[in-house]
């Protein structure tokens, strides 16, 4: 085999190895802390603004941030009522992971964000919806914590899914994150 044939053969092999991943970000949002949720939405909306497809999968402690404070879930058992009482009801009720200091640190952060014109978490969630970010809420987490679909926020791109759906999305993503 001469050099040209070897090069042609190598080019053919390389063309078959193309990256099939999409220009997509798939993110597991696990934490329910204000600072981590803000980081997740800043990254997600930034990626969407840059033309990337974005999927955010909210599970476990991040799930309560997507509860609508004006809505109630009906037919909850004792554990569901307890989780509903103990966990934050919506994005405006989440607190910092560090320096919370009985609410003082969270209040200081929110005041500073407003002063510096940084979008609040509820505003970031609305922006994500406007930019086409798909917000998936883990059905298993909702079931464990006793949350009902009717008590979650309404935002474009929101869906209730299982882990298999998220894994399908993440499988062809260029970027996968866990926050």
Q: What is the pLDDT of residues 109-125, one digit of tens each?
A: 999 999 999 999 999 99
- Counted residue by residue, the chain has a size of 179
Q: Note whether 63 and 142 are within 8 A (CB).
A: yes
Nearest Cα to Cα of residue 35 among 94, 78, 77: 94
Q: Is 78 contained in some domain?
A: yes
Residue 16: its pLDDT value, please? 65
The total of structural domains in the chain comes to: 1
Domain that holds residue 67: 21-178
Q: Is 59 inside any structural domain?
A: yes
Residue 4: partners with Cβ closer than 8 Å, 6 or more residues away: none
Q: Which residues face 159 on adjacent strands?
A: 136
Q: What is the CATH number of the domain that holds 84?
A: 3.40.1260.10
* pLDDT on residue 162: 98
Please give the pLDDT value at position 3.
85
In a structure prediction context, what are the per-residue pLDDT tens digits for the chain, which is 179 residues long? 688 887 788 777 776 666 789 999 999 999 999 999 999 999 999 999 999 999 999 999 999 999 999 998 888 988 888 988 899 999 999 999 998 788 899 999 999 999 999 999 999 999 999 999 999 999 999 999 999 999 999 999 999 999 999 999 999 999 999 99
Q: Is residue 5 part of a domain?
A: no
CA dihedral 65, 66, 71, 74 (to 10 degrees): -100
Residue 8 lies in a domain: no
């Amino acid at each position: 085999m001469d050099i040209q044939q070897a090069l042609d053969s190598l080019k053919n092999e390389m063309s078959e190895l193309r990256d099939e991943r999409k220009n997509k970000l798939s993110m597991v949002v696990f934490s329910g802390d204000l600072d981590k949720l803000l980081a997740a939405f800043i990254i997600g909306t930034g990626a969407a603004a840059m033309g990337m497809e974005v999927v955010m999968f909210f599970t476990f402690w991040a799930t309560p941030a997507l509860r609508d404070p004006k809505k109630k879930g009906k037919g909850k058992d004792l554990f569901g009522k307890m989780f509903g009482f103990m966990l934050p009801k919506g994005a405006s009720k989440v607190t910092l992971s560090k320096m919370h200091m009985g609410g003082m640190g969270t209040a200081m952060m929110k005041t500073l964000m407003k002063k510096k014109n940084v979008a609040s978490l509820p505003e970031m969630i609305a922006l994500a919806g406007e930019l086409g970010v798909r917000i998936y809420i883990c059905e298993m987490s909702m079931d464990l914590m006793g949350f009902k679909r009717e008590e979650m926020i309404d935002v474009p791109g929101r869906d209730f899914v299982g882990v298999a759906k998220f894994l399908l999305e993440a499988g062809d993503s260029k970027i996968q994150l866990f926050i």
